[in-house]
Amino acid sequence: MRVRQLTPDDAAAYQRLRLQGLQESPTAFSASYSAEADRPLSEIAVRVTPAPDGSLCVFGAFASENLVGILAFVRPAREKLRHGAELAGMYVAPEFRRRGLGRALVDAALAHARSLPGVRQLKLTVNAANAPARALHKMLGAIEVGRKRDYYGPGDERIVAKIDRAIFEQMRPKYERLGFIPPRTAEAAA
């Protein structure tokens, strides 16, 4: 398994997997299958092109060269909002779940966030009924900061959670143990 940022060459594979996700888990995403199904590949290619300043990119998890997991990283352009970035559109194909791909995708996004000066927190939004995603967020140490009712329509309840620098540092030993991040050298820790 390998995780890397997608490029325009991955547009077709990304769109296939994303449409599969929108059909299979419609309540997990703000986008809908009907609105996305006919989007031209040229638009998708733009969407998966990493922004030069790192503010926008999509991570992909590959198994035997096939794209089987995706996660978008979005940092707002506005100055007052740039300390936070959002993780969105996470999807792992059902046959590849519970193998650590979701974790590995978030790990890559965390490492990316840490590489961008000024990013201090990551926001994650999840449907209250989505037990697997909530378990993953909990494992990452994300803390609930709010709830949005009727967000994607009547009856939809979203939990907004965040991971900030302090939480990341608290979780560091666990992340290192799980292999999300390489152990810090004594020199770096000093």
Give min distance, CB of 95 to ligand COA, in A: 10
Tell me if residue 60 falls in helix, strand or coil.
Answer: strand
17 or 45: CB nearest ligand COA: 17
Beta strand 143-149 with 56-63 is unpaired
DSSP state of 185: P
Q: Is there a contact between 13 and 21 (Cβ–Cβ < 8 Å)?
A: no
Interacting positions 41-70 with ligand COA (CB under 6 A): none
Residue 130 binding ligand COA, by CB under 6 A: yes
Residue 142 binding ligand COA, by CB under 6 A: no
Nearest to 102 by CA among 111, 92, 94: 92
Looking at the DSSP assignment, which residues form a beta bridge with residue 148? 158
- Which two tokens mark 36? 């996305």
DSSP state of 38: T
Q: Map residues 68-97 to x or -, x wherever contact with ligand COA holds by CB under 6 A.
A: ----------------------xxx----x
Residue 20 binding ligand COA, by CB under 6 A: no
Give min distance, CB of 133 to ligand COA, in A: 4
Nearest to 130 by CA among 163, 97, 177, 166: 97
112 or 158: CB nearest ligand COA: 158
Looking at the DSSP assignment, which residues form a beta bridge with residue 70? 60, 91
Residue 132 binding ligand COA, by CB under 6 A: yes
Residue 141 binding ligand COA, by CB under 6 A: no
**List 99, 120, 165, 172, residue binding ligand COA (CB under 6 A):** 99
42 or 170: CB nearest ligand COA: 170
Q: Which stretch binds ligand COA (CB under 6 A): 4-12, 30-38, 135-143, 167-175?
A: 135-143
Q: Please state the φ and ψ torsions of residue 68, each to the nearest 5 degrees.
A: -125, -5
41 or 135: CB nearest ligand COA: 135
The helix (run of H) or strand (run of E) holding residue 89 is strand 84-92
Beta strand 56-63 with 2-5 is antiparallel
Q: Which residues sit at the interface with ligand COA, rule CB under 6 A?
A: 21, 25, 28, 90-92, 97-103, 126, 130-133, 135-136, 139
